[in-house]
Structure 1
């Protein structure tokens, strides 16, 4: 395996892009990111440059994600895993308006999807830029829809009851014998 290929595997461009986007969401940008992590701005740049010999630690990325309040890194990892990141919120902070808001946002993203698809297919070919736009929008449709459903069920459905014995190791389940007197 050549060195260039190994470096791409070590720190993929999609992850670097998500980290940079997260840093840009901080009001102080790179200076604030460096302060959060207790390192210099040069340390950040060195770990995010293309072809560099250093990588950006995942722990640092998670600290910056938390500080920014945005989920660009989690979303990027989910996309690469063929998954959708659905943020969970504290139930105490949710009301019916929040649930309906997620539904409305999903419908808005579906409307955008329809427009993007119509525009992209007008010439009979979906180019790379059009595909990227459709994929980004589709991800948002799925994420908002799942947020809506998750909140809906967490608020309005009774918790599922399960038999703890189902989780026990084989042979560890106590046997209850009914004895008649």
Structure 2
């Protein structure tokens, strides 16, 4: 999880095979221009949304979307594609979900040893809780997708990441939508 947009950009650059130099070249910038935009030096503007989206696409990550979601206290969930799933995948998702839940439970016990949950433990527990829920929701959406629920029905529960990132870029947008309606 990234705490600020500059750390998201840094992580996207690290995820790209040729790093900052490659990202800068793909954006048709020199490395100096890239750094001027990143640190807003020499009167340079920060990156545009299009440039940030391109960095995310090039890096193959969802760090920008996760930054925007976290900024608003939201989080994102991967929605599996039906064509990429089978029963073995569902079993693996279920196992991962159970493993994440187990890690969370162990961390909760460890945090309670002194009887107080400090800010560091709260942050760790919150991150683990979000991870556990992401895996659980991902598995559920995979189950729904594999057994014939149309994309429209899945969208009723959770918006896709691409939509979320665009919504986060607009003022007043919501990063992750949930609906209790069936």
TM (normalized to structure 1)?
0.69
Structure with larger RCO (C-alpha < 8 A, sep 6+): 2
**Residue 110 (structure 2) aligned to one of 97, 111, 119:** 119
- Where does structure 1 differ by over 6 angstroms across 4 or more consecutive aligned residues? 50-53
Counterparts of 1:89 and 1:161 in 2: how far apart (Å)? 13
Counterparts of 2:99 and 2:147 in 1: how far apart (Å)? 24
Matched with 1:108 is 99
Spell out, residue by residue over 1:33-60, the C-alpha distance to the aligned partner (whole angstroms, 9 max, x if none).
1122221222332333389863222222
SS of the aligned residue for 2:4 comes to helix
**Residue 26 (structure 1) aligned to one of 8, 11, 16:** 16
Counterparts of 1:29 and 1:101 in 2: how far apart (Å)? 32
Contact 2:104 2:125 in 1 (8 A): yes
- Bigger shift: residues 17-26 or 78-87: 78-87
Counterparts of 2:38 and 2:120 in 1: how far apart (Å)? 24
Spell out, residue by residue over 1:145-167, the C-alpha distance to the aligned partner (whole angstroms, 9 max, x if none).
111111111121444999xxxxx
Check if 1:91 corresponds to 2:78: no
Spell out, residue by residue over 1:76-102, the C-alpha distance to the aligned partner (whole angstroms, 9 max, x if none).
222223333122343222222222222
Gaps of 5+ in 2: 154-182
RMSD over aligned Cα atoms? 2.7
Contact 1:91 1:154 in 2 (8 A): yes
Gaps of 5+ in 1: 1-12, 163-181
TM (normalized to structure 2)?
0.69
Contact 2:40 2:46 in 1 (8 A): no
Matched with 1:35 is 25
**Residue 61 (structure 1) aligned to one of 48, 52, 67:** 52
**Radius of gyration: which is bigger?**
1
**Residue 147 (structure 1) aligned to one of 106, 118, 138:** 138
